[in-house]
Structure 1
Amino acid sequence: MWSWFGGAAAQKRKDAPKNAILALREQLDMLQKREKHLENQMAEQEAVAKKNVASNKNAAKAALRRKKVHEKNFEQTQSQVAQLEQQIYAIEAANINHETLNAMKMAGTAMEKIHNGMTIDKVDETMYVFIPLAIYLQISNRTRDKLREQAALNEEIAQVIANNPLGEQPDEDELDEELEGLEQEAMDERMLNTGTVPVADQLNRLPAPTNAERKPALLRICA
């Protein structure tokens, strides 16, 4: 009997924004966990690259290649998180506008009942003519805004897909450059750990020859 009078359908429409927000928040939570997982994977592959940079360059480069793939997935996930947050905000704002409009309608109905039968002058009649028009304009503006938001969202999704094609390989020059940087870091660490000093620094630390040491050398040159 409840459904005969539209009660179930009305309740379903009322719960629709809440259910949509709950579903979006569940997906958002999953994507945020994926972000953390990808961050850990990037750090893990960078550690593998540093470990093998001196002994096995191929393994180090392969680790960097995997790191680049994780970085692209991380950027794509960040974009998806931003989109979901924007959708949640849009639904919440639209729901607030809807509830506000319903409250305005109830207020208008109450005012009609209060002023029912009053014939003091025509000012009230003129105001009641404009109340439905104002409500109609609000509904129309909200509909246009929703269409523009959806079009912008579709365009953003298309750009993300276009800028992150599946199977795209990382740039080899970037891999080589990052590999050289890791090699230099490893060399610096070995020098610090072993106390090895570059040859140029060792020459600069040698004591300068005295005048007595210079004279025999000059005599040999003159002879």
Structure 2
Amino acid sequence: MWSWFGGGGQAKKDAPKNAILNLREQLDMLQKRERHLESQMAEQDTIARKNVATNKNIAKAALRRKKNHERSLEQTSAQIIQIEQQIYSIESANINHQTLQAMKNAGTAMKQIHKGMTIDKVDQTMDELREQHAINEEIVNAITSTSIGEPIDESDLVAELEDMEQEQIDERMLNTGNVPVGDRLGALPAAANGELKGKATAEEEDEEAELEKLRAEMM
């Protein structure tokens, strides 16, 4: 009894289990007694039936013993019912106690988890998270919207394409042999062009000299 009033923690914890064990031992003993009484009743009934015609005193004594056994059997059956109810009550009470203790521990754990946590702090944390998310979105947008390097001039692209096209035309003409005169002259080295120009100037000077000579003879 002391364990139920705060003394002996382990004894208090084991009290329901020990009580159930004791009750089950008593229940087992009563059930054995019940079977024994039923056997005795059947035996006395057999004796009474056997001697009912030949020896009524023996038959009557057997019936008297059978009635006593019936009375004992009724008491034993009632005790069995009481024991079973006690076992059920203790088991139910122990389950309720353990359930309540588990709920109490859960409440303590939740208090520990929520210690120092308020609705205002939760709202503040959520606002900070939303703010940081917005900043991150702005950074991503800024990075993805900024082009790397100088913009490409479309006129440069057009000029480069024209040069490439002219090179292809020149190459085709050289391969077929249909090169324009201007192109052939343009393809000559600069020194050759100078020699041609020098020869033309010398010939013109000679012609002028011959014309001057003819005029003098005519005069």
TM-score (ref. length: structure 2): 0.51
Is 2:99 the partner of 1:100?
Answer: yes
State how far apart, in whole Å, the 2-side matches of 1:36 and 1:113 are.
57
Please tell me the residue identity of whatever aligns with 1:39.
Answer: E
Is 2:110 the partner of 1:118?
Answer: no
Q: Could you list the per-position Cα deviations for residues 146-204 of structure 1 after superposition, in whole angstroms to 9, with x for gaps in the alignment?
A: xxxxxxxxxxxxxxxxxxxxxxxxxxxxxxxxxxxxxxxxxxxxxxxxxxxxxxxxxxx
Is 2:102 the partner of 1:109?
Answer: no
In the TM superposition, 1:123-202 aligns within 5 A as none
Unaligned 5+ segments in structure 1 are: 1-5, 122-223
> Aligned residues: percent identity?
74
Unaligned 5+ segments in structure 2 are: 1-5, 121-219
Partner of 1:13: 12
What is the deviation of 1:68? 0.5
Structure with max Cα Rg: 2
Kindly tell me the number of residue pairs found equivalent between the two proteins: 115
State how far apart, in whole Å, the 2-side matches of 1:86 and 1:55 are.
47
Partner of 1:47: 46
Partner of 1:63: 62
Bigger RCO (CA 8 Å, 6+ sep): 1
What is the deviation of 1:118? 1.8
Please tell me the residue identity of whatever aligns with 1:13.
Answer: K
Q: What is the aligned-residue RMSD (CA, Å)?
A: 1.4
Q: Could you list the per-position Cα deviations for residues 94-147 of structure 1 after superposition, in whole angstroms to 9, with x for gaps in the alignment?
A: 0000000110010000110111112326xxxxxxxxxxxxxxxxxxxxxxxxxx
Partner of 1:180: none
Q: Determine helix, strand or coil for the equivalent of 2:116.
A: coil
Partner of 2:139: none
Partner of 2:36: 37
What is the deviation of 1:10? 1.1
Partner of 2:200: none
State how far apart, in whole Å, the 1-side matches of 2:36 and 2:119 are.
72
Please tell me the residue identity of whatever aligns with 2:22.
Answer: A
Please tell me the residue identity of whatever aligns with 1:102.
Answer: Q
Please tell me the residue identity of whatever aligns with 2:25.
Answer: E
State how far apart, in whole Å, the 1-side matches of 2:118 and 2:59 are.
89
State how far apart, in whole Å, the 2-side matches of 1:46 and 1:25 are.
31
Partner of 1:175: none
State how far apart, in whole Å, the 2-side matches of 1:119 and 1:18 are.
43
State how far apart, in whole Å, the 1-side matches of 2:22 and 2:118 are.
53
What is the deviation of 1:59? 1.2
Q: Determine helix, strand or coil for the equivalent of 2:119.
A: coil
Could you list the runs of 4 or more consecutive aligned residues of structure 1 that deviate by over 6 angstroms after TM superposition? none
